[in-house]
Chain A
Amino acid sequence: MMTAATILSFLLPLAGTVMLAFSGERLGPRGSTFIGVGSVGLAALATAWALLAYSGASQGVTLWTWVAVGDFQPTMGLTVDRLSLLMMAVITGVGFLIHLFAAWYMAGEAGITRFYAWMNLFVFSMLTLVLADNLLLLFLGWEGVGLCSYGLIGYYYQHEANNWAAFKAFIVTRIGDVFLALGMFLIFVELGTLDIGQVLEQAPRVWAEGSTTANIAALLILGGALGKSAQVPLHTWLPDAMAGPTPVSALIHAATMVTAGVYLIARLNGLFLLAPDVLLLVGVIGAVSLLLAAFAALAQTDIKRVLAYSTMSQIGYMFVALGVGAFDAAIFHLTTHAFFKALLFLSAGSVIISCHHEQEMDKLGGLWRKLPVAYAGFIVGGAALVALPLISAGFFSKDEILWQAMAADQTGLLIAGLLGAVLTGLYTVRLILGTFHGEPGSDHARHPEPGRNPFTHHLPLIVLAVLSTFLGAWLYPGLGELFPAAPGETSDTSHTLLQVLATGAVIAGLALAGWLFVMRRQWLHSIAGKGAGARCWALLNRAWGFDALFKWGLVRPWQWLVRGLRFDFINRGMNLLALIARAGNAGLVRTQNGRVRTYACVMVLGVTVILISLVLTSGGGR
């Protein structure tokens, strides 16, 4: 029963894609929306059915053998266990709410059919990614979500900037994907299988802990995870990806796809435990990313870019959790983050549509009375983002991460996490104040048109808001027994101490924010406006200049290379042969000049040469 429900849940979005893709615009906006939202809704129902039918044991189903040549036998096989069921629930559940909201958000846009075809294909690919029982099928989902992300970031295809943002997102993540592919090659050669279960079983037998090969394999997989999950240094695509419609940002670039890297590392936990150094590196990269992104979020003016950097920062927390071996905590935060970040993005989408596609904070402001639903969404989502103690979902998951870091004696990671909590408070307050309070910055903000549809606008926001409170944290089933023991389970470090620290960090952040953005507003403004302050602002606004680094380090040299080779110098080289033939022709043509005198001369010359050579050779013979 459960396998049937599982298969149904991932085939339904695919069916939706096929119907939409081959409808040839015959369906019209209403029909497309109906199919696009409906298929994911049904998939969510099928997932609920699978959850109900779940017996507690992991189940596998092999649809067919993909390829069978010698030992190379990847299958089209799915595994359902608690982790994949949880991911399925998040993908289809949150996915459905976002699809529903998109029905409101996208109303009146051209190309609705294309939008839903991509969105459904995305849900299908993401489900394949989490259900795959072998790495090659996982890679199918992995690349599939990347392609859908490309198609949706470039949804408004007439704007050059959007297309290049989509292009950049695809290429940067593809660089990560190549590392993942190399990791697969290595794993297959060394372990002789791609089946995830068997890989985890075989790895400890073949590789000693800390052996070079294990380290390399883990590093390569980490490379893949960094690209998809937008962690330093492969993170530059995420802020630009905000060019897509806001529901896309909510679904792909906040709730699901960007957390695929976290899922991958958690799924292959046994492999990373064999490479402790790489696992620690995961944590360090997470800490660096969370701080870098949190600082960058402080200096953005576009509300979606603030949320993008905040996503990167929160995924950094998940990586920290992975890095200290607390896989359960990482997945916990993944789940709550899916709820509250989706809520924040959808609320932002509500603001953006209400204000006629205005998303610059300078031009917004003073909206809290006029857009109460979106405001409520921002407050609840923001509370979860800053991890407001006890009442928000984010508190429980982030607290778990910090506690595990503390229990693992990773003081550096713990401090980074606490500092990140302060910064999160700062940028969240700045975001909410800048959007909803103060004076409206433009006519659009003065006369917004609030969303009124109770079903497609209010319902998703309300459900997500409820999930972003402590209720959402309670829903999390806990996957402890699926993973190796987390450091917290064996440690006697005081949890209370950590809770006090974390609460202190949150309150410090909020208080500092209140002081800076409310009391010392003018002072802050003047500092950021000139001199060192302005330079600092610019640096943070450009997120530490990674884009420039890549531009001059990679993109420009590549362009020079392309330009330099454009005319195919090797081919030109081959043309030399033709030139030589022509030159020879030109030379010999001269001998055919029709003058008897020349001919006679040449003839005499020739005869002489022949005679001389004859004399010389025969003379040598005797």
Chain B
Amino acid sequence: MILLWLILIPFFGSLLCWQAERWNQQAPRWIALGTMLLVLVTSLVLWVGGDFSPPGVSESPWLLEWRVPWIPRFGIEIHLAMDGLSLILVALAGLLGALAVLCSWNEIVQRVGFFHLNLLFIMSGVVGVFLALDLFLFFLFWEAMLVPMYFLIALWGHSGSPGQTRIRAATRFFIYTQASGLLMLVAILALVFVNYSNTGVMTFSYNALLDADVPDGLAFWLMLGFFIAFAVKLPVVPLHGWLPDAHAQAPTAGSVDLAGILLKTAAYGILRFAIPLFPEQSQAFAPVAMTLGLVGIFYGAILACGQQDIKRLIAYTSISHMGFVLIALYSGSELAMQGAIVIMVAHAFSSAGLFILSGQLYERVKTRDMRQMGGLWGRIPTLPGFTMFFVAASLGMPATANFIGEFMVLFGTFPSAPVVVVIASGGLVLAAIYSLLLMQRVHFGRETSQGQLAGPDAREYAMMLLLLGLTLAVGLNPQPLLDTTSSMVQPVAALFSDSAGLAVQAEEVD
């Protein structure tokens, strides 16, 4: 039941925010903040009390499970379940949701209620995605995330250069994700019907479909359907076109949500659905996926270096970082997959930090064009120091969570794919280049205009300090996080070695 509440709290909260605007401009903000914190606290309580040791044979792998029939005729249930990975991601969503509310405290002044309605709606959808085990329900939540995000960008976004309007960016975002979602729906339906014709049972249940016996050729296409849907969201080059525009045009809160959580739903989907549902096909697909990951690392990095809009730069760095995640997910190594989860968390912190900082910069200098910045180190107290920290995190400085994640991925992937690791390591140099370029262009150099600008107020300072502390904490002691997710990751990694073993056996038989 508590799982249902995790979804319903933001949902009801959003409706409340919407109406609360009638009596007070500030009310929606406080309600939204409270809602987010409630989600965060609930998940933290679950985390502290939870037992995440690997389950025995007969035990359920889930920490919590909630299941009621919904549309019995098609075998659709409301089936929610939580394990270590979903718990971590729900907590992350709560945290970043709270930050998203906080960072738009002064930025959003129009239609405050509706803004927070959308913000909380996204949260509701995201939490649903992380908890849903019924494939139909999963698809529902997957689509439910899109619409409020569309409004967030279209209504409160910035218009950049001519031709780069926020409406255009929002539409592009919507079409990309909608089209890919459609592919996933087709794949889900095909899977369900194949299973139906095999067993005579119509069900969308994850557990039942795990055992579905799909013919090899078809299975590959279905796997591809899932993969493409997630690849658009991750994003994987060449399906990344929506991301830079969406980030650049979205309000700060939108960017924080996008980079911090929405991208993570994709990695979660691959880990939860694409690989376990189709292990052999994923294994066969792994070289392609890893190559795409490599392309993403380099393409994202090169493009990041060419950007003049600070938010576009950060957006392209996300593509580069997610390349590491993609490589790790298809490496079949537990170490690398755990590393991918650490990167997901780390990237949520560091990119949220950088996006919030660029929002704060925008409030002060009224531009996102780095050519008009420069020399800000002397003009703004404290913020440049924080920027330096998150830039360091983004380039994978040891002691930050990003370093641990990237290096776990590289260490874990090296035995199975040394060439991929050697090439990917080149990305570490590029990461240093694009990260420091941000520093060079924004905070160093000659001042473009005179005058001291305001330092961070308590709200801004607290947000930055929190993210900084979390990045360091995970970087220096990631073990609590790893212990939480290991019981989820181990079986998935084992799938790879099992199917590899099967393939070897098959060859031997031949």
Chain A residues engaging chain B, CB cutoff 8 angstroms: 21, 24-25, 64-70, 72, 76, 110-111, 114, 136, 139-140, 142-144, 147, 150-151, 154, 157-158, 160, 163-164, 167, 170-171, 174-175, 177-178, 181-182, 184-186, 188-189, 561-563, 565-566, 568, 570-571, 573-575
Pair A69/B398 contact, Cβ less than 8 Å: no
**A174 touching B429 in the complex, CB below 8 Å, given contacts A568-B241, A568-B244:** yes
Please state if A163 and B407 are interface contacts (CB–CB under 8 Å). no
The answer to whether B432 touches A170 (Cβ under 8 A) is yes
Question: Can you add 16 more A-B contacts, CB < 8 Å, to A158-B445, A568-B303?
Answer: A66-B404, A66-B477, A69-B335, A69-B482, A72-B408, A136-B407, A154-B444, A181-B428, A182-B425, A185-B410, A185-B418, A188-B411, A565-B302, A566-B306, A570-B238, A574-B238
Q: Is the CB of B476 within 8 A of A570?
A: no
Q: Can you give 28 A-B contacts (C-beta < 8 A)?
A: A66-B476, A66-B478, A67-B479, A69-B334, A69-B482, A72-B412, A111-B378, A136-B398, A139-B398, A143-B403, A144-B399, A147-B397, A157-B375, A158-B375, A160-B445, A177-B428, A181-B425, A184-B411, A185-B410, A185-B421, A189-B414, A189-B415, A562-B306, A565-B299, A565-B302, A566-B303, A568-B244, A571-B240
Determine, out of B102-110, B350-358, B380-388, the stretch whose residues face the partner at the interface.
B380-388
Residue with the greatest number of chain A CB neighbours at <10 A, chosen from B414, B428, B444: B444
* Distance between Cα atoms of A573 and B407 in the complex (Å): 33
B476 with A67: CB separation less than 8 A: no
Is B305 interfacial (CB-CB < 8 Å)? yes
Give Cα A164 to B408, complex, Å: 31
A182 / chain B contacts, CB cutoff of 8 Å:
421-422, 425
Q: In the complex, what residues of B have CB within 8 A of residue A70's CB?
A: 334-335
A-side contacts of B377, CB under 8 Å: 157
Interface contact A163-B445, CB-CB below 8 Å = yes
Q: B241 contacts A571, CB within 8 Å?
A: yes
Question: Which residue of B is nearest A68, CB measured?
Answer: B479
Given A140-B398, A157-B375, verify A151-B388 contact (CB < 8 Å): yes
Bound together, the chains give a CA A65 to CA B476 distance in angstroms of 9
Q: CB within 8 A of B302: which of A157, A170, A562?
A: A562
A22 CB to closest chain B CB (Å) equals 9
Question: Roughly how many angstroms separate A185 CA and B375 CA in the complex, as a whole number?
Answer: 39
Q: Does B265 contact A (CB under 8 A)?
A: no
Which residues of B (296-322) have their CB < 8 Å from a CB of A? Answer: 299, 302-303, 305-307
State whether B397 touches A143 (Cβ < 8 A): yes
A185/B241 contact (C-beta < 8 A), A144-B399, A157-B444, A158-B378 known: no
Complex: how many Å from CA A143 to CA B95?
A: 30
Task: Tell me the nearest residue of chain B to A138, going by C-beta.
Answer: B398
B78 within 8 A of A: no
Query: B436 touches which one: A67, A167, A178, A573 (CB < 8 A)?
Result: A167
Contact present for B306 and A69 (CB under 8 Å): no
CA distance A174 to B440 in the complex (A): 17
Residues from chain A with Cβ under 8 Å of B241 in the complex: 568, 570-571, 574-575
> What is the chain B residue whose CB lies nearest that of A574?
B241
Contacts of A151 in B (CB 8 A): 388
C-alpha gap A384/B446 in the complex (Å): 41
A189 CB to nearest B CB, Å: 5
- Contact B476–A170 (Cβ < 8 Å): no
Residue contact A157 to B335, C-beta cutoff 8 Å: no
- B residues in contact with A68, CB < 8 Å: 479, 482
Q: Does B338 contact A (CB under 8 A)?
A: yes
- In the complex, whether B426 has a CB less than 8 A from a CB of chain A is yes
User: Which chain B residues border A566 with CB–CB below 8 Å?
Assistant: 303, 306-307
Q: How large is the interface on B (under 10, 10 to 19, 20 to 34, 35 or more residues)?
A: 35 or more
CB distance A158 to B410 under 8 Å? no
B427 nearest CB neighbor, chain A only: A178
User: Are A170 and B436 within 8 A (Cβ)?
Assistant: yes
Tell me, rounded to whole Å, the shortest Cβ–Cβ distance linking B245 to chain A.
Answer: 9
Q: Is B486 an interface residue (CB 8 A)?
A: yes
Query: What residues on A are CB-neighbors of B382 within 8 Å?
Result: 24
* A185-B408 contact, Cβ under 8 Å, with A24-B381, A574-B238: no
Do A158 and B388 form a contact, CB below 8 Å, given A24-B382, A65-B479, A67-B479?
Answer: no
By the criterion CB–CB under 8 Å, are A69 and B445 in contact?
Answer: no
Q: Is the interface of A mostly helix, strand, loop or mixed?
A: helix
Measured CA separation A573–B211 after assembly (Å): 39
- How near does chain B come to A184, taking the closest CB pair, in angstroms? 8
* From A24, A69, A139, A561, contact of B408 by CB (8 A): A69
A147 to B422, CA, bound (A): 23
Chain A residues near B444 (CB, 8 Å)? 154, 157-158, 163
Q: Does B272 contact A (CB under 8 A)?
A: no
Q: Which of A65, A68, A568 has the most chain B CB atoms inside 10 A of its CB? A: A568
Contacting residues, chain A, for B407 (C-beta < 8 A): 136, 181
- Per-position binary interface string of chain B over residues 386-401, scored 1 when its CB falls under 8 Å from any chain A CB and 0 otherwise: 0010001000011100
The smallest beta-carbon distance between A63 and chain B, in angstroms, is 10
Question: How far does the alpha carbon of A110 sit from the alpha carbon of B241 in the complex, in Å?
Answer: 44
Question: In the bound complex, what is the Cα–Cα distance between A65 and B436 (angstroms)?
Answer: 31
A592 to B239, CA, bound (A): 35
Q: A171-B433, A175-B429 are in contact. Are A144 and B397 (CB under 8 A)?
A: yes
Check if B347 is an interface residue, CB within 8 A of chain A. Answer: no
Interface: B264 (CB within 8 A): no
Hey, which chain B residues are within 8 Å of A163, CB to CB? 440, 444-445
Answer yes or no: B443 CB below 8 A from chain A CBs: yes
Of A110, A150, A570, the residue contacting B378 (CB under 8 A) is A110
Contact indicator A157/B445 (Cβ below 8 Å): yes
CB-based contact B398/A178 at 8 Å? no
Contact in complex: A144, B306 (CB < 8 Å): no
Q: Of A67, A185, A562, A571, which contacts B478 at CB under 8 A?
A: A67
Q: Which B residue sits closest to A117, measured CB to CB?
A: B385
- CB-contact partner of B429 in A25, A67, A69, A171, under 8 A: A171
Which B residues lie within 8 Å of A171 (CB)?
Answer: 429, 432-433, 436
| CB of B303 to closest CB in A, whole Å | 6
Residues 467-484 of chain B, each 1 if its beta carbon lies under 8 Å from chain A, else 0: 000000000111100100
Residues of A within 8 A of B436 (CB): 150, 167, 170-171
Indicate the member of A67, A114, A158, A182 with the most B CB atoms within 10 Å.
A67
Query: Once the chains bind, are B425 and A72 in contact (CB under 8 Å)?
Result: no
Q: Of all chain A residues, which has the CB nearest B435?
A: A170
Q: Which 7 A-B pairs have the closest CB atoms?
A: A566-B306, A140-B398, A571-B241, A185-B414, A157-B444, A570-B238, A163-B444
Q: Which B residues are in CB contact (< 8 Å) with A64?
A: 477
Residues of B contacting A157 with CB < 8 Å? 375, 377-378, 443-445
B237 at the interface (CB under 8 A from A): yes
Q: Does B447 contact A (CB under 8 A)?
A: yes
Nearest chain B CB to A576 CB, angstrom units: 11
CB distance from A164 to the nearest CB of B (A): 8
Contact of B428 with A178 in the complex, beta carbons under 8 Å: yes
Alpha-carbon gap, A562 to B307, bound state (A) = 9
Given contacts A158-B378, A178-B426, contact A67 B446 (CB under 8 A): no
Cβ distance B123 to chain A, nearest Cβ, rounded Å: 29
Q: Which residue of A lies closest to B489 (CB)?
A: A69
Closest partner residue, chain A, to B434 (CB atom)? A562
- Measured CB to CB, the nearest residue on chain B to A157 is B444
Q: Cα distance A188–B444 when bound, in Å?
A: 39
**How far, in Å, is A58 (CB) from chain B's closest CB?**
24
Q: B486: which A residues are within 8 A, CB to CB?
A: 69
> In the docked arrangement, what's the CA distance between A120 and B458, Å?
27
A147 to B393, alpha carbons, bound, how many Å?
Answer: 11
Chain B residues with CB under 8 Å of A150's CB are 436
Q: A568-B241, A570-B299 are in contact. Are A158 and B447 (CB under 8 A)?
A: yes
> Bound complex: CA of A67 vs CA of B446, how far in Å?
43
- Known contacts A24-B382, A144-B398, A158-B447: A185-B411 contact under CB 8 Å: yes
* Contact flag A174-B432 (CB < 8 Å), given A65-B479, A69-B408, A136-B407: yes
Complex Cα gap A284–B338 (Å)? 42
Q: How far is the CB of B376 from chain A (nearest CB, A)?
A: 10
Is B306's CB under 8 angstroms from A565's CB? yes
Residues of B within 8 A of A167 (CB): 436, 440
